[in-house]
Amino acid sequence: MKAARFYDRGDIRIEDIPEPTAAPGEALIKAAWCGICGTDLHERLDGPIFCPPRGHPQPASGEESPVPLGHEFFGVVEALCVGVDDLAVGDHVVLEPYIISEKVDTTQGNKSYHLAKDMNFIGLAGRGRWTGRKDRRQAAVDPQHLSGHATR
């Protein structure tokens, strides 16, 4: 599959990468659309900011540059792995693209999980191959966050 990968400031390459697979607890999502936002532009012009430099893997994802870009996207569930029972193949989903350590409580009771140490984003710090965790909270909508903040 094709991916735009961040190597370093000013160095984004369109490359072929292996097709992704879903690990236990994950869903494989076929992207229908992916936006490019100001964060992506800042990574290209001023980065690395969120993208982990080569030799410095992001703690939660374990990945380092080059990383596939694209953190504002939606798509269709293409496959499910063991441990995912609240989604179905064919579901249309939008992700809250957080990468958070497995040690962080992301249940409804923790209202500050998004402030966890080493939090980062799918499509900036790894996992940008269109797999997503089954957590319902990660099915929230980034554009909703933006419009919610804009109206406050």
101 binds Zn ion per the rule CB under 5 A: no
CB 99 within 8 A of CB 120: yes
Distance CA 146, CA 27 (A): 25
Q: CB of 72: closest distance to Zn ion in angstroms?
A: 5
Task: State the Cα–Cα distance between residues 9 and 81, nearest whole angstrom.
Answer: 35
Q: Which two tokens stand for residue 68?
A: 């596939």
Query: Which tokens sit at 46?
Result: 């001023």
Give the length of the chain.
152
Residue nearest to Zn ion (CB): 37
- Considering the complex, state which of residue 26 and residue 72 has its C-beta at the smaller distance from Zn ion: 72
Site string for Zn ion, 31-70 (x = CB under 5 A): ------x-x-------------------------------
Judged by CB, which is closer to Zn ion: 39, or 101? 39
Binding site for Zn ion (CB under 5 A): 37, 39, 72
